[in-house]
Amino acid sequence: MDDLQQFIALIPKTEIHLHIEMCVSSASYNALMDKYGIPHDEKTNALTDFSKIVSLQSMIESFFFVQSFFREPEDFLLVVQDVIAYAKRNNIYYIEAFASPSMILNRGVISYDEMFDVLIGGFRDAKKSTGIDVRLIVDVSRTFGPQNAMKNLELTLAFLERTKTDGILGIGLGGQEIDHPCADYEAVFSVAREAGLHVVAHAGEEVGPQSVWEAIDILKAERIGHGISSIQDPKLIERLKKDQTPLEVCPTSNIITKTYVSDLADHPVRALFDSGLNVTVNTDDPILFSIELNKEYENMTTKLGFTREELLVLVKNNLMATFLPKREKDKNWKRVQEVIGTSASRASRK
Ligand SMILES: [Zn+2]
């Protein structure tokens, strides 16, 4: 490990844009395929060979395919285990992650409550044994239309009513952005906000600035997933700067899906940051894209020229953009500073 890698590895981190289903290791997929006798044939090989993903569409196909391996509620414990292992590898102590029930429910094998009982219980146990805290945001999904999204919201509200859990923070809008404008989900988001849920939305990932405008003005999203097409619209940049709306930027994900950028060195995250926007760095789909959060931070320096001080700004932005209470955020940031300060004074003594 070189000096930069050591510095990044040492920083206790948070992550706010991560899909838990895309954190599942190939060992877990293989275990599920063996459990259910799913053949390792040409089709499965093609859809589980994530190196073949070249667009958001092919990513979503793989996403749905691997979700079809989950057939009993207990299978979700593998997801919990892999998310925690990922967090440990990257020194992440707190994650706000998306869970997407649509495809699972549409297949009719596992109910919403069965899925989330296992996930919430699994993450609660994991927190006790590891200290790593994973909270969920339900991706109501735009791929299946507003009615399906409203159904997901209703199931979420009923689940929260029954369990009183603090393991679900709110809802998010993921899935195909093209042909599925944020504006179609105005009613869903309005009900969610009135119920006191946090709301976030993917926007500006594969559609232009209009999508981000709709996410902030119509959905009143508290954070924007990706938001990279904002760079095309100076008025939008001004607005995002004024409101300090956090952008959940996932650089490697954008390079793989290639809508707006195909080389990290050209990624607009540098310009967004330099424009004074509230930029955070995340991985989106770590196993699918074969990217670790530590590597994502390293790339920010090696490909985009971020200094160590700037990396710490990104780390702080990420923590402050979480839905943790202010007191918790301040306590965690103090701890980060202590860790960094200790390592800096140790280095200067060498
Ligand atoms: Zn995403």
Arithmetic mean of pLDDT, 197-209: 96
What per-residue confidence (pLDDT) applies to 26?
A: 84
pLDDT at 349 over 60: no
Residue 224 neighbours by CB under 8 Å, 6+ apart: 200, 201, 202, 203, 204, 212, 215, 216, 230, 240, 245, 246, 247, 248
pLDDT at 169 over 60: yes
Query: For 253-306, how does the pLDDT look when each residue is reduced to its tens digit (9 = 90+)?
Result: 999 888 898 899 999 999 999 999 999 999 999 988 889 999 999 999 999 999
Measured in angstroms, how far is the CA atom of residue 205 from the centroid of ligand 1?
9
Between CA 213 and CA 18 the distance in angstroms is 23
Is residue 28 within 8 Å of residue 111, measured between CB atoms?
Answer: no
Is residue 48 within 8 Å of residue 65, measured between CB atoms?
Answer: yes
pLDDT at 171 over 70: yes
pLDDT band at 344 (very low <50, low <70, confident <90, very high): low
Arithmetic mean of pLDDT, 102-108: 91
- For the annotated catalytic residues, the residue numbers are 205
The residues pairing with 15 across neighbouring beta strands, listed in sequence order, are 95
Give how far Cα 28 sits from Cα of 22, 51, 73, 82, 265, Å: 12, 18, 14, 8, 34
Is residue 202 within 8 Å of residue 225, measured between CB atoms?
Answer: yes
pLDDT band at 175 (very low <50, low <70, confident <90, very high): confident
Between CA 222 and CA 237 the distance in angstroms is 16
Between CA 336 and CA 316 the distance in angstroms is 9
Range from 43-47, 129-133, 197-201, 225-229 carrying the lowest mean pLDDT: 43-47
Measured in angstroms, how far is the CA atom of residue 346 from the centroid of ligand 1?
38
Q: How many CB atoms lie within 10 A of CB 309?
A: 7
What per-residue confidence (pLDDT) applies to 342?
A: 72
pLDDT at 348 over 60: no
Between CA 263 and CA 260 the distance in angstroms is 10
What per-residue confidence (pLDDT) applies to 320?
A: 98
Work out the mean pLDDT of the chain and round it to a whole number. Answer: 93
Arithmetic mean of pLDDT, 150-157: 98
Range from 22-36, 52-66, 184-198 carrying the lowest mean pLDDT: 52-66
pLDDT band at 317 (very low <50, low <70, confident <90, very high): very high
Arithmetic mean of pLDDT, 162-171: 98
What per-residue confidence (pLDDT) applies to 32?
A: 92
Measured in angstroms, how far is the CA atom of residue 174 from the centroid of ligand 1?
6
- DSSP for residue 161: H
pLDDT at 240 over 60: yes
Measured in angstroms, how far is the CA atom of residue 191 from the centroid of ligand 1?
22
- DSSP for residue 91: T
User: What pTM, to 2 d.p., does this model score?
Assistant: 0.94
Arithmetic mean of pLDDT, 87-95: 98
Domain locations in the chain as residue ranges: 14-323
Domain covering 14-323: architecture: Alpha-Beta Barrel (3.20)
pLDDT at 44 over 90: no
Is residue 118 within 8 Å of residue 111, measured between CB atoms?
Answer: no
pLDDT band at 345 (very low <50, low <70, confident <90, very high): low
Measured in angstroms, how far is the CA atom of residue 285 from the centroid of ligand 1?
7
Arithmetic mean of pLDDT, 79-102: 97
Measured in angstroms, how far is the CA atom of residue 251 from the centroid of ligand 1?
11
What per-residue confidence (pLDDT) applies to 64?
A: 81
pLDDT at 248 over 80: yes
CA atoms within 13 A on the CB side of 154: 7
Measured in angstroms, how far is the CA atom of residue 154 from the centroid of ligand 1?
22
**What are the two backbone dihedrals, phi and then psi, of residue 334, each rounded to the nearest 5 degrees?**
-60, -40
